[in-house]
Structure 1
Amino acid sequence: MLYNNKEVGTIFQVSIMNAMLEGIYDGETTIEEMAKHGDFGLGTFNGLDGELIAIRGQFYQIRNDGTSVLADPKSKVPFGAVTTFRPQITHEINNHLDRAGLEELMQKLTPSHNLFYAVYIEGHFDKVKTRTVAKQEKPYLPFTEVVKEQTEFDFNNENGLLAGFFSPSYAQGMTIAGFHLHFLTHSRQGGGHVLDFNLSRGILKIQALPYYTVLLPEQKDFEEADLAGDKSQAIIATEG
């Protein structure tokens, strides 16, 4: 068993990715409540009002203009995941590493692609391409329509960090299969959802997560939504 203590081996997730695709962008779980379940993670805010990234117990809101601020503890989250980050693997990176290279490195460093992992990289980035979307108003459009108007940002020669999760392919729809990473600059003043990156040097830290807990929305929109079927292509289109 990877962990005898669920407190440091559990992903706590609010809602599921298929619900986001259907435009269910309002949740009841606050940042304050998320923090009770972990000090590391990512997500978004009600109405898609920015990207969420949590590092060392600090929760940041990355706004539509690419800038970031500390999140209001009372802000609510329609989709997000946190864990108590206690890495088991640390690997120094001295050569250039992009998203494809990260996946190859994960295969070498981890025992299986059938497990969930928390992933953290801190270092110097030649380039990071990120995106944010504008806050939405009801009636909400499907996520595939929202991202057509997303704003993209290029961070060049920046010190910063990537934080998020690697999820196995069978979890697609519940969450995002493969990597789901958010970026935050060293100054904590900018970032976003990661589309691509090139790291020149840094440190990679990985934690295996054998426990997975999901809090489903208690709302009519979720109960009546059509969440069945393979939505892999829609997830790929929205998550880059």
Structure 2
Amino acid sequence: MKTEALFRQDAYLRSCEARIIRVDGEGLLLDRTVFYPQGGGQAGDSGWLTLDDGTRLRIADTRRAKFDGSGPDDAMHMPDVGQDSVQARFVEGQLVCAEIDWERRYRHMRLHTAAHLLCAVLPFPVDGCSITADYARLDFVTSDPLARDTIDVALAELVARRAVVSIDTMTDAALEANPDLVRTMSVKPPVGTGRVRLVRVEGVDLQPCGGTHVANTSEVGAVRVARMEKKTARTRRVVLTLE
């Protein structure tokens, strides 16, 4: 049995009922989850697993499972430290309520969408990215000088456009025929299943992405360039934060 990744189609789901299908030293595997596992530059979700009797286990992080036979959506929910006695009560076959830390997740969604807007403002290949609850960092392959004020104004205009953000798919063959859609050099979109997940910002950006996003650019809110630096002769780093 593999994990059903509910967040892929609805990033706004905050909780779900699930059954524990594996418990080991790495964490807990569920048959379905709203927790996003770290990947594609985006941090994994944190939150709680709760039994019917109210016993609550704090989840500090979520990572992709690495055991033999694990699938691409199998996510290990990794408990916070110091909860051994609580974790011992969570065993295979039990039903739990899986609930994400919504405030943290929503910041991931806002900043990840802001990163896509930044890709539209700066049309250069991306050689590294990180999406956390505090910032979004992208490394652009360019030697061109970048102007912070110009970027801030362009981002504000895209946020104010209230563009719809939607999920689509494309066949592996279609993506291969359109390589320019892939902006990231260090993180390649998963292929081999026949279809690739796309995130479309209407009239602004379209690229393969497995992360979580807001439904409209207006939800990004006030975002600004917090830091810019020259990483190498060919790479410029831009760090975004929310106001």
What is the TM-score of this pair, normalised by structure 1? 0.24
Q: Which has the higher strand share?
A: 1
What is the TM-score of this pair, normalised by structure 2? 0.24
Identify which of structures 1 and 2 has the higher relative contact order when contacts are C-alpha pairs closer than 8 Å and 6+ apart. 1
